[in-house]
């Protein structure tokens, strides 16, 4: 069989047209599609909306981490580079070592300041949700405090599963976190997996 021969037809056109509809079913747009409310009747955020906003806030905090660290390192390098070279030791060390440690400390300070700036920017951009988020944060951390396992139950074979609930990003993950906490309590209480 040559490559230039025509391919065989796998269907007959009349059968294909008889099976496939020529027009799409029409949809009535008289009523808008149902939306999930972002607030409960008492004015609080829903848990899904809370976790969405919480994820956005964390991403904003992480987004400012690298620029602030680079700016602080750049500023400290510019400062150290413009200083005149003095060969006398500082604290018994070479001035280059002390300057390098200063640059490193400025980078760490930039990493620590980045999330603070990111959180402040997020609060400026979401002013109407800040109070609602703070209420839900308090309520969420109260749930975490009530339901987490006692630290005295933790061991090498029974480690703490996300003690502060920082990895929880949805209601389903919260339920998974609760199951893990109960499993940790069960293992710690009955010493399952421990060598005696």
With a cut of 90, say whether residue 194 has pLDDT above it. no
pTM of structure: 0.66
Mind listing the pLDDT tens digit for each residue in 114-161?
999 999 999 999 998 999 999 999 999 999 999 888 877 777 776 777
pLDDT at 88: 80
Among 86, 101, 130, residue at a domain's last position: 130
21 domain-assigned: no
Mind listing the pLDDT tens digit for each residue in 65-104?
999 999 999 999 999 888 887 778 777 888 888 889 999 9
Average model confidence (pLDDT) for the chain? 80
DSSP label of 26: P
With a cut of 70, say whether residue 4 has pLDDT above it. no
9 domain-assigned: no
60 domain-assigned: yes
48 domain-assigned: yes
Share of the chain above pLDDT 90, in %: 45
Helices (H), the chain: 13-19, 47-63, 65-82, 95-125, 127-147, 171-190
What is the extent of the structural domain holding 83?
Answer: 43-130
pLDDT at 37: 61
Distance CA 57, CA 63 (A): 10
In total, how many domains does the chain have?
Answer: 2
Q: Dig out the tokens for 57 from the structure.
A: 């806030």
pLDDT at 192: 62
Distance CA 10, CA 16 (A): 10
Same domain, 156 and 104: no
């Amino acid at each position: 069989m040559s490559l230039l021969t025509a391919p065989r037809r796998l269907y007959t056109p009349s059968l294909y047209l008889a099976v496939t509809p020529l027009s799409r079913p029409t949809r009535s747009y008289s009523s808008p599609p149902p939306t999930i409310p972002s607030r409960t009747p008492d004015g609080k955020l829903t848990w899904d909306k809370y976790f969405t906003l919480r994820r956005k806030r964390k991403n904003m905090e992480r987004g400012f981490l690298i620029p602030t660290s680079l700016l602080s390192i750049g500023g400290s390098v510019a400062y150290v580079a413009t200083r005149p070279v003095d060969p006398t030791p500082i604290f018994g060390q070479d001035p280059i070592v002390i300057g390098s440690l200063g640059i490193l400390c400025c980078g760490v300070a930039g990493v620590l300041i980045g999330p603070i700036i990111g959180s402040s920017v997020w609060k400026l951009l979401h002013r109407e949700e800040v109070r609602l988020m703070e209420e839900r944060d308090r309520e969420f951390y109260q749930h975490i405090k009530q339901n987490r396992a006692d630290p005295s139950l933790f061991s090498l074979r029974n480690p703490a599963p996300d003690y502060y609930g920082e990895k929880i990003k949805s209601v389903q993950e919260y339920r998974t976190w609760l199951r893990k906490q109960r499993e940790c309590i069960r293992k710690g209480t009955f010493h399952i997996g421990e060598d005696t």
